[in-house]
Structure 1
Amino acid sequence: MTIDGVPPLFAEALAKQGYTTLTDVQRAVLEEDVGESDLLVSAQTGSGKTVAFGLAMASTLLRGEDRFPANSEPLAVLVAPTRELALQVRLELEWLYAPAGARIASCVGGMDMRQERRSLAGGAHIVVGTPGRLRDHITRGSLDMASVRAMVLDEADEMLDLGFREDLEFILKAAPPERRTLMFSATVAKPIETLARRFQKNAIRISANTGATQHANIDYRAVAVASGERENAVINVLRFFEASSAFVFCTTREGVKHLASRLGNRGFGVVALSGELSQTERTRGLQAMRDGRAQVCVATDVASRGIDLPTLDLVIHADLPKDGEALLHRSGRTGRAGRSGVSVLITPHSKRRTVDKLLQAAKVKVSWMPVPSAETIIQRDRERLMNDPSLEGPLTDEEADFARDLLATKSPEQIAAAFFRQNQTRRPTPEEFVDSGRDASEVEAPRGDFEGGVWFRVSVGRKQRAEPRWILPLICKAGDVTSREIGAIQILEGESMFEVSARAAPDFTRALAQTGRRDDTITIVPMNGRPEPRASYADSPRSGAMKRSRKMPGARGRKPPQAAAGARKA
């Protein structure tokens, strides 16, 4: 097989990996005018840049030969910001350079340095490592840079962000001045330009970022749920899409451990990644994802840096990312190298505006969807089962004999039902949702007349200096709803009453089961029926609280001690 611009030696390796065409960045580095020039390449993660710089430096390393010399000092050194990325780069280069007989060594923190020294002493044509560990080997004399023909800095911007400038400069200075230097970065900011001017010679600038199509292969979705239903929503989203592999992001290490434990108990094949794990544990977990023993990886943003799972189909944001850049970075784990992927944000109802700002900053459009209900997931399971490949194709003689014997004792309906039951037994049971039919447009619907609204009682009133401006946020937090769903508020002497829209009442009641008692002083409980009309602080003509201003939740003023304590715990 031939691929335009690729030497036959490497075209064969690419074909074995399923390549039929090259990506934009791979084609760009093979253009005739590039030659042996230094390169400054801006390319997004997932654009195929590892293969790109592998192909770009091949002519520099081989110099017209088909195979590497049997005994050689390192000819290329590649630097990556994280251990995981360095190890992934090594795996990619191993299959790409296998026909040329290349020996590739890795030098990364957290691994046995003595073993790395033995690998270097045995002869390695290409060395891949992290900045700190490479510098250690150079300093100790176990990595000889005298014969290096090519230097590659992968994700140079991230290495500078992580504080590796001094290490990078040390490594670059240790390499021969006539070597070729290839820098790959998601963006070429001023620090990258400064580094390029110092250590590159007349570098050719290549921009392989495609702007608006950067995440064109990613389908962004969002679901709004009560805050107490977040984990259940993750379970149902995983079941609905049933991806071959999925990434679930949490903000904290504790969140990762808790959610991974919950998913594991529900029957998902799951691994957890957080900063407290050893390199051996991290490597073992990622290998479980790659070979299919685990389907879900729960991780923090920091722990996920540099991880590339080629078959990743689904990203779930169990906790919202901190900003638009983090959203793109997380989501960019899927939809790589021509594959399609899905990115789903799980958001509390009350965070809708936060999500809107997040999406605006990331410049991506999202489709809001209801939480997949148990019924929807079961129906989807049936559709998948009907299209199961095992139902297609001719039968072997042994299979045909067994089928006849089985049909002689069981009806087709019994056999089909058993097939369905066995299929469902292997899958985690989906969760039931009260609000599974509500999507974001319903949550943000204009305020109505509250016909059929449900009334609740909160145990603070005028005696506790209660005011709508601090009661309203407390109610919204306790029931995990927006202020749009709260109608009239009546403040009496020792208690207050408020109305919740019929649409939000089931969610509100469900949330109260967990958060209804704020502390020893403040409780919220449902009422039987509507309150009798009476004069109160909130609904008197003087206060105008029955027609509250939309600015009321943010109104400033001194909170009474009782309210402040309850609001903090809400």
Structure 2
Amino acid sequence: MPFPSLPAPLQAALDERGYAEPTPVQAAVLEPETEGRDLLVSAQTGSGKTVAYGLAMAHLLMGEAGRLPPPGGPLALVVAPTRELALQVQSELAWLYAKAGGRVVTCVGGTDPIAERRALERGAHLVVGTPGRLRDHLERGNLRPQALRAVVLDEADEMLDLGFREELEAILETTPADRRTFLFSATVPAGIAAIARTYQKDALRIAAGDAGAQHGDIEYRALLIAPHEIERAVVNSLRFFEARSAMVFCRTRATVTRLHGNLAERGFAAVALSGELSQAERNRAMQSLRDGRARVCVATDVAARGIDLPDLGLVIHAELPNDPETLLHRSGRTGRAGRKGISALLVPHNRRRAAERLLQAARVQAAWGPAPSAEAIREKDDARILAQATELAGEEPVDGDLALARQLLAAQSPEALAAALMRTLRAPLPAPEDLAEISDRPPPRQHIQAERGDPGAAGSWFKMNLGRNGNADPRWVLPFLCRRGNVTRQEIGRIQVQERETRFEVAPWAADRFAAAAGRPGDPKDAHIRIMPSEAPLADTPRPRSARPPGPPRRPAARPYEK
């Protein structure tokens, strides 16, 4: 369906950008019943909401003239939760209104307020900003709201989550009563509904598409991994899916810093985004992603709010989000504007149940499977390199190339030259990581019983060639076994430390996984420790202190009074 009747300058801008037909949210706000009404719109992230409200207020701002008047006091105000989103909105509205003579000014935190005041004094048609900075300009008299015809709250639910309710109410109370108000939000929680009731008049509720349906352009993958192999799985996921640009989400700044350093060390062009960075550092990171100098962004949830990167084809959840809203927000960075994307959740096998509950609450269907293996990545590399070499061979040779090629063929065999080309094409690729083999079958019922304290059937016994002669102690043996065998503490039973060896019990459902992981080379500093199956225990031995049931603390023996 083509766009309904629009002012000629906007229609020309859309044609120039290749907009053949509106997205569902754009079509919804242009329906005849929206004329002259306030709108409360919920739609999936990445559905074209910025262009939607830009079109929705076009006739209101331009009138019958089909062109904007000379810039003066702003006609429209757009409030966004973060600096990055505000700058992206400014960029979108600038090209949309460029042919109509539109002037768009931004007012965001972290920039020079004096420069913003001067820009406002020169006049503007649209002002885009963050809540705190806009309120400041209003209170100082730099931003004159008398001519405002429209106010847009973009990502309104995120602004409430970030604690901007007071600022939003202050902004709305200073704007003209006859303005039109557009609330755009991914979800409509109680706080948004309350703002709509207070500051909107007879608002038309629009839910573009099925708000509860899974985003059709995002493919969800749940990748099972060993608990201690998250960073290796991130490396393999980036290498396997080979997106033009990717985002990796972590929960904390410390994890962002560590993972960013590890990726850079492995040869990835990566940048980090977290709350501890200055605005200048954030701007440089974003610019390097947009111009292609960086391909991977490692970020916390707060730092990545509202970010829209071109050609972002992959989102990796290095750490599972706490709630379904965060999962959908993270995933919504990809699959935007009709492009396809992948959202990959790295799920430690001991957290599979939690991940299943999270996906169910988000109403998302994910394909379960192991994280990409090194072998699978090498197979993909071979196919890519072969295609790249074939493409290079098909290009017309430049003057002198054939003569040089004949000299090389006289000195080396064609096979040797082809192998050298393959090595050259493979050299820039970061090496894949060897991961533990994790079954994609759901854990058996006895696993759940064990987590609740029911030990179930007797476990399988193993031994390692280190005992009291090597200072073996359950306090470090237990975490070592978990790390080496890809198991949890709950899956390790009794531990017997003997003179020259240590025997230990592994839960029956985890025995095969433990044996496979322990049989592979581990950390070089632990290479001298060998693990192998063992016969039944020699005698019943108490469980290690970490596995004993909790009880009352022991009181120290009483001591006689001393002066």
**TM bracket, shorter-chain basis:** 0.7 to 0.9
1:558 aligns with 2:551: yes
* Aligned partners of 1:479 and 1:515 also within 8 Å: no
Deviation for aligned residue 1:513: 4.8
Q: Choose which of 539, 542, 547 in structure 2 pairs with 1:535.
A: 539
- Report the counterpart of residue 108 of structure 1 in structure 2: 108
Secondary structure of the structure 2 residue equivalent to 1:81: coil
| Distance in 1 of aligned mates of 2:533 and 2:244 | 50
Secondary structure of the structure 1 residue equivalent to 2:158: helix
* Aligned partners of 1:348 and 1:480 also within 8 Å: no
User: For 1:520-546, what per-residue CA distance to the aligned partner results, in whole angstroms no more than 9, with x for missing partners?
Assistant: xxxx965666246533257xxxxxx9x
Deviation for aligned residue 1:164: 1.7
- Report the counterpart of residue 146 of structure 1 in structure 2: 146
Q: Is the deviation greater in 409-418 or in 204-213?
A: 409-418
Q: Is the deviation greater in 437-446 or in 313-322?
A: 437-446
The 3 A distance-change label for structure 1 pair 186 and 264 is same
Q: Is the deviation greater in 21-30 or in 318-327?
A: 318-327
- Report the counterpart of residue 503 of structure 1 in structure 2: 513
Residue correspondence of structure 1 range 166-185 to structure 2 within 5 A? 166-185=166-185
- Report the counterpart of residue 294 of structure 1 in structure 2: 294
| Distance in 2 of aligned mates of 1:76 and 1:270 | 37
| Distance in 1 of aligned mates of 2:28 and 2:393 | 43
1:455 aligns with 2:463: yes
| Distance in 1 of aligned mates of 2:169 and 2:459 | 69
1:314 aligns with 2:311: no
Residue correspondence of structure 1 range 50-61 to structure 2 within 5 A? 50-61=50-61
| Distance in 1 of aligned mates of 2:401 and 2:495 | 73
| Distance in 2 of aligned mates of 1:554 and 1:22 | 61
Deviation for aligned residue 1:490: 6.5
Secondary structure of the structure 1 residue equivalent to 2:347: strand
Give the letter for the 1:428 counterpart: P
Deviation for aligned residue 1:214: 3.5
Deviation for aligned residue 1:368: 2.5
| Distance in 2 of aligned mates of 1:450 and 1:15 | 70
Give the letter for the 2:539 counterpart: A
Deviation for aligned residue 1:459: 7.0
The 3 A distance-change label for structure 1 pair 221 and 555 is farther
Deviation for aligned residue 1:510: 6.8
Residue correspondence of structure 1 range 192-271 to structure 2 within 5 A? 192-271=192-271
| Distance in 2 of aligned mates of 1:419 and 1:430 | 20
| Distance in 1 of aligned mates of 2:100 and 2:197 | 33
- Report the counterpart of residue 86 of structure 2 in structure 1: 86
Number of residue-to-residue matches in the alignment? 534
Q: Is the deviation greater in 330-339 or in 266-275?
A: 330-339
The 3 A distance-change label for structure 1 pair 424 and 209 is same
Secondary structure of the structure 2 residue equivalent to 1:441: coil
* Aligned partners of 1:73 and 1:144 also within 8 Å: yes
Give the letter for the 2:391 counterpart: L
Secondary structure of the structure 1 residue equivalent to 2:163: coil
Q: Choose which of 426, 431, 434 in structure 2 pairs with 1:432.
A: 434
The 3 A distance-change label for structure 1 pair 444 and 355 is farther
- Report the counterpart of residue 481 of structure 1 in structure 2: 487
- Report the counterpart of residue 405 of structure 2 in structure 1: 406
1:359 aligns with 2:362: no
Deviation for aligned residue 1:228: 3.0
Q: Is the deviation greater in 446-455 or in 236-245?
A: 446-455
- Report the counterpart of residue 564 of structure 1 in structure 2: none
- Report the counterpart of residue 520 of structure 1 in structure 2: none
| Distance in 1 of aligned mates of 2:197 and 2:328 | 29
Q: Is the deviation greater in 184-193 or in 133-142?
A: 184-193
1:419 aligns with 2:421: yes
The 3 A distance-change label for structure 1 pair 270 and 528 is closer
* Aligned partners of 1:455 and 1:529 also within 8 Å: yes
Deviation for aligned residue 1:181: 1.1
| Distance in 1 of aligned mates of 2:317 and 2:143 | 41
- Report the counterpart of residue 370 of structure 2 in structure 1: 370
User: Kindly, what percent of the aligned residue pairs are identical?
Assistant: 49
Q: Is the deviation greater in 224-233 or in 402-411?
A: 402-411
The 3 A distance-change label for structure 1 pair 153 and 292 is same
User: For 1:392-443, what per-residue CA distance to the aligned partner results, in whole angstroms no more than 9, with x for missing partners?
Assistant: 89755x548735752564365455434322221222122233x2x4333287
Deviation for aligned residue 1:376: 1.7
- Report the counterpart of residue 557 of structure 2 in structure 1: none
User: For 1:43-67, what per-residue CA distance to the aligned partner results, in whole angstroms no more than 9, with x for missing partners?
Assistant: 2221110110001011111112233
* Aligned partners of 1:223 and 1:439 also within 8 Å: no
Give the letter for the 2:320 counterpart: L
Give the letter for the 1:313 counterpart: G
| Distance in 2 of aligned mates of 1:418 and 1:4 | 58
* Aligned partners of 1:478 and 1:511 also within 8 Å: no
| Distance in 1 of aligned mates of 2:360 and 2:465 | 39
Give the letter for the 2:425 counterpart: N
Secondary structure of the structure 2 residue equivalent to 1:227: coil
- Report the counterpart of residue 122 of structure 1 in structure 2: 122
The 3 A distance-change label for structure 1 pair 438 and 302 is same
* Aligned partners of 1:9 and 1:100 also within 8 Å: yes
Q: Is the deviation greater in 213-222 or in 129-138?
A: 213-222
| Distance in 2 of aligned mates of 1:378 and 1:240 | 9
* Aligned partners of 2:73 and 2:123 also within 8 Å: yes
User: For 1:209-261, what per-residue CA distance to the aligned partner results, in whole angstroms no more than 9, with x for missing partners?
Assistant: 52453422222222233333221111111011111110001111111111111
* Aligned partners of 1:25 and 1:49 also within 8 Å: yes
* Aligned partners of 2:106 and 2:127 also within 8 Å: yes
- Report the counterpart of residue 567 of structure 1 in structure 2: none
The 3 A distance-change label for structure 1 pair 313 and 190 is same
The 3 A distance-change label for structure 1 pair 220 and 174 is same
Q: Is the deviation greater in 279-288 or in 14-23?
A: 14-23
- Report the counterpart of residue 561 of structure 2 in structure 1: none
| Distance in 2 of aligned mates of 1:394 and 1:349 | 47
* Aligned partners of 2:461 and 2:533 also within 8 Å: no
| Distance in 2 of aligned mates of 1:419 and 1:504 | 41
| Distance in 2 of aligned mates of 1:393 and 1:2 | 44
Unaligned runs of 5+ in 2: 448-455, 469-473, 555-563
Deviation for aligned residue 1:491: 5.3
| Distance in 2 of aligned mates of 1:527 and 1:378 | 29
* Aligned partners of 1:454 and 1:502 also within 8 Å: no
- Report the counterpart of residue 62 of structure 1 in structure 2: 62
Secondary structure of the structure 1 residue equivalent to 2:160: helix
The 3 A distance-change label for structure 1 pair 525 and 349 is farther
Residue correspondence of structure 1 range 301-340 to structure 2 within 5 A? 301-340=301-340
